[in-house]
Chain A
Amino acid sequence: MEKDKPWALLSEEGVKQAFLEKLADIMEPHFQIITSREFLQNPLLHGPKIQAMFVWSCCPAAEHLLLNLLPSLKVVANGGAGIDHLDVPFITSRGVKVTNTPGVVSDATADIAMGLLLASARRIVEGHQIAVDAKTTYLAQNLMGVDVTGSTLGIIGMGQIGYKIAKRSRGFDMKILYHNRNRRSIEDEQAVEATFCESLGDLLRRADFVMLAVNLTPNTTGLIGHRELSLMKPTATLVNISRGLLVDQDALVKALQSGMIRAAALDVTHPEPLPRDHPLLGLPNVLITPHVGMNTCATVRGIVQKMVENALAAVNGLPIPNEVKFE
């Protein structure tokens, strides 16, 4: 019955109204939805009803002040795999579970990684701009890109997404190097013909394309800085589909300006979006997309389905498919 459905909090900043309407059919059979705006009109009235919080694009922020208003909260269910914006130890210390949606995002993210790699390597965006430019009278000869077939791809972070990127790049006869906290099994490596690089420096020196596919943690913040960029080939391309903070952006700007590396393709920056006067926006050898890694209708629906599944399990005290535990 309608009254028996648990209440869940959802933010308008994270989810525009139109978007929310499209996904209502997935959420509404299981939850009564209240938006942040409605909640804040009377937090003392609404707060105690809320058992679940759906977090999308980091909103609502699951912080101290908000959690204090939600005494019945059982779960913070995140949409997406990355949870660097959530203070997991803090949230779980209050007896609230945290969940994410790994797996379901991986294909779309791996696809965008390959799309960015190819678009950068073959200068597709610049090509379009020339093709449609009002002043174009002939097709110039000098829009040369770099070869993808047979090149070396260095994947930093060989989790589910990194591995799917490796699978996709095999079709292009790319040589695959990877660097990861843990080495993958021999079978996994052989299936994609990937070579483990214990040394990140080794990977950086050899790769034509450096692909960042790691989680953002205190250990990986600023992983790619001046030193790492200086180890890369001047013909190499950096592709980032993880988190902006993995890269020292100031060092990246200098590396791109000086020709230390050939180009960068970034689906993620810090912050998002960048300030409008940020040097990255004006560099000719940078391709930036506004964090669209998961942006297909099918993937978004899959994410919302997983969020709802996770939240329902938590609310009902059942085993949770994608619980994030603090180690």
Chain B
Amino acid sequence: MEEEKPWALVSEVGGENGYLEELADIPKQHFQIICYREFLQNPVLHGPKIQALLIWKYCPAAEPSLLRLLPSLKVVASAGVGIDHLDVPFINSLGVKVANTPRVVSNATADFAMGLLLASARKILEGHHIAVDPKTTHIPQSLMGVEVTGSTLGIIGMGEIGYKIAQRSRGFEMKILYHNRTRRSTEDEQAVGAIYCESLDYLLRRSDFVMIAVKLTSDTTGLIGHRELSLMKPTATLVNISRGQVVDQNALVKALQLATIRAAALDVTHPEPLPRDHPLLSLPNVLITPHIGISTYNTASRMVEKMVENALAGVKGLPIPNEVKLK
């Protein structure tokens, strides 16, 4: 019955950071939903009812000031695999579990990574601009890109997404190098022809495309800075589909301006979106997309379904399929 459905707090439906209308139906099947704005109108009334916090695109922010108002909270369920926006130890200390949605995001993100790589390598954005420009009278002879087939792809972070990128790049006969905290099994490596690089520097020196597919942690913040960019080939392309903060953006701007590297393709920046006067926005050799790595209806729906599944399990005191446990 309607009254028995537990209450969940969400950001908003529609609007700047809200759920698409179609996706909002999914949590509504299992939860009574209250939006953040309505909650704030009477937190003392609404707060104690709420057992689940459903986070979409980082909102609502699971900060102490909010969590303090939710004494009955059992679970913070985030849509997406990244959890760098959540202070997991703190949330757990309140007796609240945390869940994310790994795996369901992987295919769409790996597809997008390949799309960014190809679009940058072959100058698809510039090509389109020329093709539709009112002033274009001739097909340009000099719009040259770089070869993808047979080139070297260096994957930093060989988790599920990194591995799926490797699988996709095989069809282009790319040579695959990878750098990861832990080495993959021999079977895994052989299946995609990937060569482990214990040294990140080694990977950076040899790659034509450097693909960032790591989690954002204190170890990976600023992983790619001035030094790393200077090790890259001047013909190389940096592709980032993980988090903006993995890259030192000031160093990246300089590297692109000085042609230390050829180009960058970024689905993620810090912040998102960038300030409108940020130099990255006007560099000709930068492709930026607005964090749409998971943006297909199917993937977004599955993410929300998983998030709801995790939240329900948390509310019922059952094992949570994708609980984030810190070691």
Which residues from chain A sit less than 8 Å from chain B, CB to CB?
A: 15-16, 18-19, 57, 107-108, 110-112, 114-116, 118-119, 121-125, 127-128, 130-132, 134, 136-150, 167-173, 272-274, 276, 281, 287-292, 295-300
Contacts and interface: CB of A to CB of B under 8 A. Distances in A.
Interface string B235-271: 0000000000000000000000000000000000000
A111 B122 contact: yes
Interface in B90-105: none
A300 B143 CA distance: 12
Contact of A145 (B130, B145, B296): B296
A273 B289 contact: no
Contacts of A292: 122-123, 127, 143, 145
A110 B149 contact: yes
Contacts of A276: 134, 136
Given A111-B172, A171-B171, A273 B138 contact: yes
Contacts of A122: 111-112, 115, 292, 295-296
Contacts of A172: 111, 114, 168, 171
A178 to B, nearest CB: 16
A290 B140 contact: yes
Given A136-B273, A273-B137, A292-B145, A111 B292 contact: no
B71 interface: no
Given A144-B295, A145-B295, A297-B147, 16 more contacts: A111-B121, A118-B112, A122-B296, A127-B290, A131-B273, A140-B290, A145-B296, A147-B111, A149-B107, A273-B139, A274-B131, A288-B127, A289-B127, A290-B143, A295-B145, A296-B146
20 contacts: A112-B118, A115-B119, A115-B122, A118-B111, A118-B112, A124-B287, A127-B289, A128-B289, A136-B290, A139-B272, A140-B290, A147-B298, A171-B171, A173-B107, A273-B139, A288-B128, A292-B122, A292-B143, A296-B145, A299-B147
A124 B125 contact: yes
Most A Cβ at <10 Å: residue of B16, B124, B145, B281: B124
B143 A295 contact: yes
B66 interface: no
Contacts of A107: 147, 149-150, 173
Contacts of B146: 296-297
B122 A112 contact: yes
A290 B132 CA distance: 9
B129 to A, nearest CB: 9
A108 B148 CA distance: 8
A122 B281 CA distance: 20
A171 B169 contact: yes
Residue from A122, A138, A145, A299 with most neighbouring chain B CB atoms (10 Å):
A122
B121 to A, nearest CB: 8
A118 B112 CA distance: 7
B296 A146 contact: yes
A107 B145 CA distance: 13
B318 interface: no
Interface in B270-327: 272-274, 276, 281-282, 287-292, 295-300
A173 B111 CA distance: 11
Given A137-B273, A290-B130, A124 B147 contact: no
A300 B144 contact: yes
A124 B289 contact: yes
Contacts of A274: 131
Contacts of A119: 115, 118-119, 124
A296 B123 CA distance: 10
A168 B144 CA distance: 22
B291 A139 contact: yes
A147 B169 CA distance: 17
B273 A288 contact: no
A114 B115 CA distance: 8
B167 interface: yes
Nearest to A135: B276
B292 A145 contact: yes
B130 A139 contact: no
A147 B111 CA distance: 8
Contacts of B118: 111-112, 114-115, 118-119
A131 B288 contact: yes
A288 B131 contact: yes
B115 A136 contact: no
B295 A150 contact: no
Contact of B17 (A138, A143, A148): A138
Contact of A143 (B119, B141, B149, B290): B290
B107 A150 contact: yes
B5 interface: no
B257 to A, nearest CB: 16
A147 B147 contact: no
A144 B136 contact: no
A70 to B, nearest CB: 24
Of all A-B residue pairs in the complex, the 3 with the closest CB atoms, nearest first, are A118-B115, A115-B118, A127-B289
B57 interface: yes
B139 A289 contact: no
B44 interface: no
Nearest to B134: A276
A289 B136 CA distance: 12
A296 B111 CA distance: 23
A114 B269 CA distance: 25
B263 to A, nearest CB: 13
A281 to B, nearest CB: 5
B82 interface: no
B108 interface: yes
Contacts of B173: 107
B141 A16 contact: yes
A144 B297 contact: yes
B203 interface: no
Contacts of B122: 111-112, 115, 292, 295-296
